[in-house]
């Protein structure tokens, strides 16, 4: 049996359930994840349950001396990038991305393609997906392929401009759309995609309004985009093109793309949006359409698999400080004050964890990946008693998806197919008030929910840089002929990844990671079980 850990902090997720949600969202009959589907197996230790992801058709025989080589070959196959050459017999042309198109500092011979001077990336360039060699499966955050935690190199494709391209820029029509909810940095990415397309020489650039809806809602029309249109859109939050949630038939969407004569499609969104992008890519391949579909991962929850972080996350953490600081001031200024802040994070508690770490004012951090109890001798309420007695005040930070097992189940779903969660913040607020009333101790509880304020703001400097580079690399990837890919940052390097590999599950906080341990050290909270 092959033991292979879920990559990059994947939590206890039901992959089949996720597949079902993504399929329902886009009316897709199937989604292919990598070269084979994955299943979960449970490896029960003496004190914990560890989830391992195993590829059923490629179990590793560790008695084989060449198992590492076989694993690396399988990994390389899974992470190979879909290309237009897979469907068409194409001859590349020299790139049009060089200094002549960059303004006054034009070179005399713009046809030269000096790799050092122009900064081109070779197709054989790779970046390491992981850089830590764990010596033991019990090491904090250990991600081991075999029981001995052997080091196996895992290389992914480096992003950037290539010396050869597969489109004539003057004949290209490019489309851009933003899906899902708002996120800081959407306008930054749109702006940079347009500017980079123009540097290549593309003149026909359009925005598709309101996400996938723009393809099948006849009342919505394309938005012409150019440098003049997008020049200052990064100075405000939101999306120039608008966003929406909802489903649509993949065949109808591709019909619309084909009718509009779009050659490159840049799709900004999260896991569900990327599932739709992959389905669109596969339908284009099936119809033998020379269309490149490139995703740019967008989620302030930071829950995209394999990536260091997604754009909007840093801004969300920074903006969360305002709410946390307000809660702290309210709690510290009141007699027996308790400040409660609910932050975004449906399945992943990265915002709450990082906001708690950065603020230094949080006494209790509750996230979806770590179960907890409110009642009982070791519950959250008992700990708040202790804090009120010894500190006189307390501040609690909770992610929206935390503690859903404590609430009444709902079968309702939003337009994206996501289960509608109960409001854990309101539930905890009511429980705190009831508890302290029952023990006859005064408690002044202030509840703050800054959800929509956080996601609607302008991107900060860190996210703006990330958005700029992601937008540029999305265009480079499309001109290089890649389709069905997304751009991201892995171990500080910008890379291209096949979409199926990043949507196979959500990225979650690893309760055994050093980062979560650091958060616990900062808050001083015990286990609430």
86 is catalytic: no
Please indicate whether residue 370 or residue 24 has the higher confidence score (pLDDT).
370
For residue 486, give the DSSP letter. E
pLDDT category of residue 99 using cuts at 50, 70 and 90: low
Is the pLDDT assigned to residue 470 strictly greater than 50?
Answer: yes
175 has pLDDT over 90: yes
Higher pLDDT, 424 or 247: 424
pLDDT of residue 98: 80
b/e 405-418 (16+ beta carbons within 10 angstroms → b): ebeeeeeeeeebbe
Element spanning 40, H or E: strand 39-44
Q: Would the pLDDT of 490 be above 70?
A: yes
CB 356 within 8 A of CB 519: yes
Helix (H, G, I), strand (E, B) or coil at 25: helix
Whether residue 270 is annotated as binding a ligand: the answer is yes
Of the candidates 188, 263, 301, 463, the residue annotated as catalytic is: 301
Lowest mean pLDDT of 1-15, 269-283, 461-475, name the range. 1-15
Q: Who contacts 92 (Cβ-Cβ below 8 Å, separation ≥6)?
A: 164, 165, 166, 481
Residue 430 has pLDDT above 70, yes or no: yes
| 432 known ligand binder | no
pLDDT band, residue 27 (cuts 50/70/90): very low
pLDDT tens profile 256-296: 999 999 999 999 999 999 999 999 999 999 999 999 999 99
User: Is 245 among the annotated ligand-binding positions?
Assistant: yes
Q: What angle do CA 116, 118, 122 make, to 5 degrees?
A: 65
* Residue of 77, 73, 109 lying closest to 94 (CA atoms): 109
Say whether 300 counts as a known binding-site residue. yes
Task: Show the tokens assigned to 231.
Answer: 């020049």
> Please, what is the average pLDDT of the chain?
86
For residue 60, what are the contacts with CB-CB under 8 A and spacing of at least 6?
2, 4, 67, 70, 71, 145, 146
Would strands 444-448 and 493-498 be described as parallel, antiparallel, or unpaired?
unpaired
Query: Is 213 within any annotated ligand binding site?
Result: no
- Compute the distance between CA of residue 70 and CA of residue 78 in angstroms, rounded to an integer: 12
Which residue in this structure is represented by tokens 């989620």? 299
| pTM, 2 dp | 0.86
d(CA 335, CA 330): 10
Cβ atoms of 339 and 394 closer than 8 Å: yes
Numbers of helices and strands, H then E, in the chain: 16, 17
The Cα 111–Cα 236 span in angstroms is 38
Q: How far apart are CA 11 and CA 18, in angstroms?
A: 13
Q: Give the DSSP letter of residue 235.
A: G
Check pLDDT > 70 for residue 466.
yes
Distance CA 282, CA 33 (A): 12
Could you read off the pLDDT of 34-83 as tens digits, one per residue? Answer: 333 333 322 323 333 333 333 333 478 888 888 999 999 999 999 999 99
Q: Using CB atoms within 10 A of its CB, is residue 258 exposed (0-12), middle (13-18) or buried (19+)?
A: middle
**pLDDT of 31 above 60:** no
Instruction: Give 17-21 contacts, CB < 8 A, sequence gap 24+.
Output: 18/271, 18/505, 18/506, 21/272, 21/417, 21/418
- Best CA proximity match to 301, nearest among 322, 281, 317: 317
pLDDT band of 1, cuts 50, 70, 90? very low
Q: Say which residue the tokens 């740019």 belong to.
A: 296
Residue 217 or 11, more confident: 217
With 50 as the cut, is the pLDDT of residue 184 above it? yes
Q: How far apart are CA 374 and CA 394, in angstroms?
A: 15
pLDDT digits 0-9 by tens, 219-244: 999 999 999 999 999 999 999 999 98
Ligand-binding annotation for 346, yes or no, is yes
Model pLDDT, residue 64: 86
Confidence band for 305, pLDDT divided at 50, 70 and 90:
very high
For residue range 396-412, what is the model confidence (pLDDT) as tens digits?
A: 999 999 999 998 887 77
246 is in an annotated binding site: yes
Give the Cα separation of 485 and 503 in Å (integer): 11
> Which has the minimum average pLDDT: 323-327, 416-420, 424-428, 512-516?
416-420
Residues written for the chain: 529
């Amino acid at each position: 049996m092959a033991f292979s850990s879920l990559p990059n902090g994947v939590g206890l997720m039901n992959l089949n359930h996720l597949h079902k949600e993504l399929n329902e969202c886009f009316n897709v009959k199937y989604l292919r994840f990598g070269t084979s589907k994955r299943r979960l197996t449970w490896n029960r230790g003496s004190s914990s349950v560890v989830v391992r992801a195993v590829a059923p058709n490629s179990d590793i025989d560790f008695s084989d001396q060449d198992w590492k080589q076989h694993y690396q070959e399988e990994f390389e196959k899974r992470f190979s990038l879909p290309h237009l050459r897979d469907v068409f017999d194409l001859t590349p042309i020299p790139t049009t991305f060089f200094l002549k198109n960059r303004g006054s500092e034009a070179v005399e011979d713009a046809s030269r393609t000096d790799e050092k001077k122009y900064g081109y990336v070779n197709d054989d360039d790779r970046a390491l997906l992981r850089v830590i060699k764990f010596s033991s499966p019990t090491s904090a955050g250990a991600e081991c392929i075999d029981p001995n935690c052997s080091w196996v190199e895992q290389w992914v494709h480096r992003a950037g401009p290539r010396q050869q391209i597969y489109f004539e820029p003057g004949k290209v029509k490019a489309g851009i759309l933003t899906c899902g909810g708002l996120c800081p940095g959407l306008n930054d990415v749109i702006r940079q995609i347009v500017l980079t397309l123009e540097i290549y020489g593309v003149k026909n650039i359009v925005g598709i309004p309101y996400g996938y809806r723009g393809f099948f809602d006849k009342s919505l029309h394309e938005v012409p985009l150019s440098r003049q249109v997008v020049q200052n859109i990064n100075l405000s939050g939101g999306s120039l093109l608008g966003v929406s949630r909802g489903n649509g038939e993949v065949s109808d969407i591709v019909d619309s793309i084909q009718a509009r004569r779009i050659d490159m499609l840049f799709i900004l969104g999260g896991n569900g949006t990327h599932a739709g992008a992959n389905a669109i890519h596969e339908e284009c391949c099936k119809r033998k359409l020379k269309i490149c579909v490139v995703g740019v991962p967008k989620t302030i929850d930071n829950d995209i698999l394999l990536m260091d972080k997604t754009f909007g996350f840093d801004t969300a953490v920074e903006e969360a400080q305002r709410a946390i600081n307000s809660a702290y001031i309210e709690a510290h200024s009141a007699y027996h004050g308790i400040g409660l802040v609910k932050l975004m994070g449906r399945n992943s508690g990265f915002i709450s964890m990082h906001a708690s770490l950065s603020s230094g004012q949080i006494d209790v951090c509750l996230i979806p990946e770590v179960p907890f109890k409110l009642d009982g001798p070791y519950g959250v309420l008992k700990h708040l008693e202790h804090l009120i007695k010894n500190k006189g005040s307390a501040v609690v930070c909770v992610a929206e998806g935390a503690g859903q097992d404590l609430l009444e189940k709902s079968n309702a779903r939003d337009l994206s197919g996501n289960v509608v969660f109960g409001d854990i913040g309101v539930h905890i607020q009511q429980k705190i008030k009831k508890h302290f009333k029952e023990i006859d101790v005064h408690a002044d509880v202030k509840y703050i929910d800054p959800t929509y304020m956080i996601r609607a703001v302008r991107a900060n400097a860190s996210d703006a840089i990330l958005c700029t580079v992601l937008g540029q690399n999305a265009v480079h990837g499309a001109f290089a002929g890649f389709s069905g890919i997304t751009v991201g940052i892995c171990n500080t390097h910008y890379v291209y990844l096949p979409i199926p590999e990043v949507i196979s599950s959500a990225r979650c906080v690893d309760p055994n990671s050093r980062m979560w341990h650091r958060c616990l050290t900062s808050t001083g909270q015990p286990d609430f079980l």
